[in-house]
Amino acid sequence: MPTTSDPNALLATLYRENHRWLRGWLSRRLQCPQDAADLTQDTFLRALNSRQLEQIQEPRAFLGTLAKRLLCNLWRRRQLERSYLDALAQLPERFAPSEEDIALVREAIEAIDRLLDGLPLRARRAFLLNRLDGLGQQAIAERLGVSLATVERDLRRAYIHCLTRDPEQP
C-alpha cells in the first residue's frame, strides 16, 4: 500500500492490486459470477468507508474479513427470505400478499439487517426476539440460555447500536 494519506489513492491501489483476487475468491464460494461481482464492489465500498484504510498491513486479510462479513449477511438475508416465502406458501391464496407487498417486506428485512450489522450474534438475536417476536427479557434469557442480566445488557447494546448508527452507511 502507498504511504499517502489520500483515501482515494489508497483505495485505487487496493482495488487495482486485489480486485481480481477478491472476485475469484468470492466466485468460488458463491458459484455465481453476478453475486461475486456485487459483493466485490460492496467490499471495496466498505473498505472506502473504513477508518483503517491507512493502516492496512495485509490487504487481502483485510478485504477477506470484510467480504466474509458481507457473505454472511447475504446468506442470512437469503435464509430470511426463504423462511418468509415458505411461510407465505402456507397461506391460503386469498391471504397471499401482492408482489409489491413482498418487495416491501424484502426491503424492510434488508434495512433491518443493515441496521443490525456489526452487532454480536447474541445481541442481534435478543433484539429480534424482543422486537419482532414480542418476547420479554425473561423468555429471551430462557430461549438463549443466558442470564437475565446478559439479555438486558445485550438489548441495551443493540438499542444504542441502532440509535447511533449512520442511516446513510451501507
Q: What is the pLDDT of residues 77-90, one digit of tens each?
A: 888 778 877 887 78
Domain with CATH 1.10.10 in the chain: 118-170
Q: And the C-alpha cell for 141?
A: 434469557
Q: What is the pLDDT of residue 136?
A: 94
Q: What is the pLDDT of residue 3?
A: 54
| Amino acid present at 156 | R
Q: What is the pLDDT of residue 137?
A: 95
Q: What is the pLDDT of residue 119?
A: 86
- CA 170: distance to chain centroid? 9
Query: What is the model's pTM?
Result: 0.60
Asked whether the predicted pLDDT for residue 75 surpasses 70, the reply is: yes
| Amino acid present at 107 | E
Asked whether the predicted pLDDT for residue 31 surpasses 60, the reply is: yes
Q: What is the pLDDT of residue 166?
A: 66
For the chain, the average pLDDT equals 86
Q: Residue 35: phi, psi to the nearest 5?
A: -65, -40
Band of residue 15 on the pLDDT scale cut at 50, 70, 90: very high
For residue 127, give Cα distances in angstroms to 54, 90, 104, 118, 156. Answer: 34, 27, 21, 13, 9
Q: What percent of the chain has pLDDT over 70?
A: 94
* Residue-wise pLDDT tens digits, 112-156: 888 888 888 899 889 988 988 889 999 999 999 999 999 999 999
Q: What is the pLDDT of residue 50?
A: 76
Fold exhibited by the domain 118-170:
Arc Repressor Mutant, subunit A (1.10.10)
Q: What percent of the chain has pLDDT over 90?
A: 39
Q: What is the pLDDT of residue 168?
A: 57
Asked whether the predicted pLDDT for residue 53 surpasses 80, the reply is: no
